[in-house]
Amino acid sequence: MDKIISFYGAIPGCRPPLRADPSALGTLPSRGFQYCEALRSASSFGWYVFPPMDFTLQWDGAEVVWTYHGAKAWYPLTSAQFPGYARLFDRLAPPRLRGFAPPFLTAVPGPGVVQVWTGFFIESAENWSVLVRPPANLPRSQAFDLYEGLIETDRWFGPLFTNIRLVKTDVPIHFSTETPLVQVQPVQRSTYSEDAASAFELVSDPRELPARVWSRYEESIVKPNLDPQRPIAAYAAAVRRRRRGSGCPLHDITGTS
């Protein structure tokens, strides 16, 4: 199928985006990886995007400082370019764009909030957006939180940023090119429209559950538990068979084999 998402490397040498991994880079329990298709599907949906370099932040509760390998000191953070990038940008960009290189790190309003550029520009096909979120099911750092953002990248073209909120104070917080910073997931705009958000049903009293609901519960939960010969992970096996045979668009664009 036609491409849905395009990543454009703007900083040379950045680690390329990586198809998100069903095992969450080997961190899922083996039983969960083998039998829980819900975990596998969420973990593998989209692409990991990494920091463009190793760097370290530290927050004292009021100000943020930063450093990186080869730096001579810690530097107060307001807005910082990737080392040497402003000159490179001006050399490569059309003359009218010179002086407008995106910053690598920016301290934004809010206690300990820092915007980080991944080194990539991003765009999507018409009517597709991207959800930029913490990597699904990977262990989270206790030193910072990652905000989620939903961007209409078919209408807005620009740098792929994320915003982090530093939580711990007075300790160095390291970010590595070996660890995904964000997971980027394609989302059709119609799925989060106001019409879609309003198109739900609530049955709040179990006495009003329709017969169809009880029948579906029986098929999904009761019958398998009454069958002594039931196959292990039947749901996971059924989902994988459907994906192999359906040519599902999301299956195709994320490269599941």
> Same structural domain for residues 77 and 184?
yes
> Same structural domain for residues 139 and 213?
no
pTM: 0.87
pLDDT at 247: 58
> Same structural domain for residues 79 and 27?
yes
> Same structural domain for residues 140 and 88?
yes
- Domain extent, residue 246, equals 201-253
The answer to whether residue 52 scores a pLDDT higher than 70 is yes
> Same structural domain for residues 187 and 210?
no
> Same structural domain for residues 116 and 225?
no
> Same structural domain for residues 74 and 150?
yes
What tokens does 210 get?
């329709």
CA triplet 120, 125, 126: central angle to 5 degrees?
A: 135
> Same structural domain for residues 53 and 160?
yes
How far is Cα 218 from Cα 223, in angstroms, rounded to an integer? 6
The answer to whether residue 118 scores a pLDDT higher than 60 is yes
Neighbours of 201 (CB within 10 A): 4
Q: Are 120 and 160 in contact (CB under 8 A)?
A: yes
**How many domains, the chain?**
2
> Same structural domain for residues 37 and 91?
yes
How far is Cα 194 from Cα 54, in angstroms, rounded to an integer? 40
Last-in-domain residue among 147, 181, 196: 196
CATH number of the domain that residue 97 is part of: 2.70.40.10
The answer to whether residue 253 scores a pLDDT higher than 70 is no
Alpha helices in 93-233 (DSSP H): 194-198, 211-217, 223-226
> Please, is 167 exposed, middle or buried when counting C-beta atoms within 10 Å of its C-beta (0-12, 13-18, 19+)?
middle
What tokens does 224 get?
């398998």
**CA separation, residue 193 to residues 160, 196, 241 (Å):** 23, 5, 31
> Same structural domain for residues 102 and 86?
yes
- Give the tens place of pLDDT for each residue, 166-215: 999 999 999 999 999 999 999 999 999 999 999 999 999 999 999 999 99
> Same structural domain for residues 167 and 230?
no
Contacts of 58 (CB under 8 A, 6+ apart): 64, 65, 66, 74, 170, 171, 172, 173
> Same structural domain for residues 144 and 231?
no
